[in-house]
Structure 1
């Protein structure tokens, strides 16, 4: 529960940071999720509220990158069903699996997210995209949607890795497409959570306001921010989150 003004400010600022990071790199959940845990939300409720609260920020970031989406309508039509179905399945898995399973899985997922953030530049330098539609890209985006619907950290990094290997285009256009698909996954998962799960609406409101601002910051200045700085922050927060969660 968010009971004090300081806790509210912490969640608001975490939402702003996540909105910025999600738009530029991905993995903003590694900031907001441990923040929600720190203010007293149970793990599953924190994950649900985090997903719902970051949806406006995802939309904000996607809108900020609308210029880079020109000419990608056909690609979006191809991949949107994969993200939609994956996000729904991931949300359902979060709700039907016991909370004990979530507590055991989340440190592993956070660790995976941290590793992907660290290896992101290396992956980008050592993979080669191919022209046309690689058939494996659709199921890979579906799998990323499942992961994002269950626990959204590093969903964007996973998508960027998939696009870097399988979609011939620039990184900025990959990032624009990533923002759209991530927003879609978060959106469909949020609909499921609102319908059947407990949502902390105070946390959602604070995250929503912060992430909308962060989405615009990310879209405006993100191209000029050193990626190594953002990755460093994510790694530190992720390691702290793993230690706190296990402890």
Structure 2
């Protein structure tokens, strides 16, 4: 790798980290950048997973003082995220990719619409009753995050906004926390057994950490209503793109 390629990977990692924290769609930036570098789809996928763990690390480090205010919640979410990541990684190895990929565009589209309609959905009593199943939802999204991951941020953000009373800025923190841990589990397996391109992974991880670090203060200054619209549009765009690719 030349100095310019390394610099490009750091820049792509920073953009992916910041965009990923805000919208939950980091891989829309990082994965194409790795493909453009010349990596095969498989190598790009595992390298991306390893590098993007740093995004969660940066955002968690930046928002640690806020997260520790509710330690029981953090312990529960950590357990669910790690367990889900283990199951998802195992499914990736044991189950054929087509088993779950066919429904992913639909799930992402539903999550995007839920984010857009979140204020109204919270007012509905039948939706409010879903709060008791929030841990189950977190576990299932963590499984998906360890298995495939595209759009997982949109899913966990929608789940948190609809099923809890958390404001958008804190929901984004919880999203980064859960997916960071779930991705870490998958990344450990990829690091041991996958074709990780380590120079690219390290360079992108440096940028991703910085982008994740900048994420919390940026989200805190963005109008929640406008941010919901942006995330919903990006999520629907990702769902349409994945549907085109897979169908």
TM-score, normalising length from structure 2? 0.80
Cα distance change on mapping 1:165 and 1:114 into 2, 3 Å? closer
Q: CA deviation at 1:53?
A: 0.2
Q: What CA distance in whole angstroms lies between the structure 2 residues aligned with 1:127 and 1:156? A: 20
Q: What CA distance in whole angstroms lies between the structure 2 residues aligned with 1:44 and 1:111? A: 24
Q: CA deviation at 1:169?
A: 2.8
- 1:52 corresponds to which residue? 50
- Kindly indicate whether the alpha-carbon contact (under 8 Å) linking 1:88 and 1:192 is maintained by their aligned counterparts in 2: no
- 1:209 corresponds to which residue? 206
- 1:37 corresponds to which residue? 35
Q: CA deviation at 1:141?
A: 0.8
Q: What CA distance in whole angstroms lies between the structure 2 residues aligned with 1:5 and 1:236? A: 33
User: Which blocks of at least 5 consecutive residues in structure 1 are unaligned?
Assistant: none
- 2:121 corresponds to which residue? 126
Match of 1:164 among 140, 143, 161: 161
Q: What CA distance in whole angstroms lies between the structure 1 residues aligned with 2:153 and 2:12? A: 18
- Kindly indicate whether the alpha-carbon contact (under 8 Å) linking 2:59 and 2:212 is maintained by their aligned counterparts in 1: yes
- Kindly indicate whether the alpha-carbon contact (under 8 Å) linking 1:124 and 1:161 is maintained by their aligned counterparts in 2: no
Match of 1:71 among 69, 72, 82: 69
After superposition, where does 1:208-247 map in structure 2 within 5 Å? 208-225=205-222, 227=227, 228=229
SS of 1:136's partner is helix
Q: What CA distance in whole angstroms lies between the structure 2 residues aligned with 1:30 and 1:234? A: 11
Q: What CA distance in whole angstroms lies between the structure 1 residues aligned with 2:203 and 2:37? A: 13
TM-score, normalising length from structure 1? 0.80
Which structure has greater helix proportion?
A: 2
Q: CA deviation at 1:153?
A: 2.4
Paired residue total: 240
Match of 1:92 among 73, 82, 90: 90
- Kindly indicate whether the alpha-carbon contact (under 8 Å) linking 1:130 and 1:168 is maintained by their aligned counterparts in 2: no
- 1:16 corresponds to which residue? 14
Q: What CA distance in whole angstroms lies between the structure 2 residues aligned with 1:65 and 1:210? A: 18
Q: CA deviation at 1:117?
A: 4.0
- Kindly indicate whether the alpha-carbon contact (under 8 Å) linking 1:14 and 1:31 is maintained by their aligned counterparts in 2: yes
Q: What CA distance in whole angstroms lies between the structure 1 residues aligned with 2:163 and 2:231? A: 25
User: Which blocks of at least 5 consecutive residues in structure 2 are unaligned?
Assistant: none
Q: CA deviation at 1:229?
A: 5.1
- Kindly indicate whether the alpha-carbon contact (under 8 Å) linking 1:95 and 1:197 is maintained by their aligned counterparts in 2: no
Cα distance change on mapping 1:111 and 1:166 into 2, 3 Å? closer
Q: CA deviation at 1:210?
A: 1.1
